[in-house]
Amino acid sequence: MPIRPEILHMRNAADQHCGEVGARCLQIMRANVAPTQRIHLHCFTGTVEQVVSWLETFPKCYFGVTGMVKEFDNFQKTALRRIPKGHLLLETDAPYFRARQASASTPAFIGEVAMEVSRIRGKTVEEVLEFTSANTRILYQI
């Protein structure tokens, strides 16, 4: 069993949902990585189809959501709602994706990410922080 999680950052400025990049990455991972591998899809901005495909192939896949969640379109919001509670992570991606008028992002803004996720998923901020913190500990074995 793999010891460390794989962290993947799949973004393409020309492809808001990372469809082509995500599909190619999944294809490469399927061919080279055991299905038991723990995976962190950092800065996830994908679709329901991507959530389903990654979880079918890698049941230990986690989806990290950053402050970009404030700009999610309806497809991305639907995907966020479909990520199982036990597979969602919160991120700030500091120093990027700054909040409000801040000059840079810091981990201190994790609450703002949690607030937006809670609004989209229809949960309390406390619930979101609780289960995403637990997921982080599981993924990173801390």
Per-residue pLDDT at 109: 86
* pLDDT tens readout for residues 28-87: 999 999 999 999 999 999 999 999 999 999 999 999 999 889 989 999 999 999 999 999
Angstrom CA distances, 141 to 3, 14, 16, 72, 135, stand at 10, 35, 31, 30, 9
Per-residue pLDDT at 47: 92
**67/134: higher pLDDT:** 134
Residues near 125 by beta carbon (within 8 Å), at least 6 away in sequence: 111, 114, 115, 118
> With bands split at pLDDT 50, 70 and 90, how would you rate the model's confidence at 106?
confident
Predicted TM-score (pTM) of the model is 0.91
What's at 107, amino acid-wise?
A: P
Question: What are the structural domains of the chain?
Answer: 6-140 (3.20.20.140)
Angstrom CA distances, 7 to 38, 51, 66, stand at 9, 16, 15
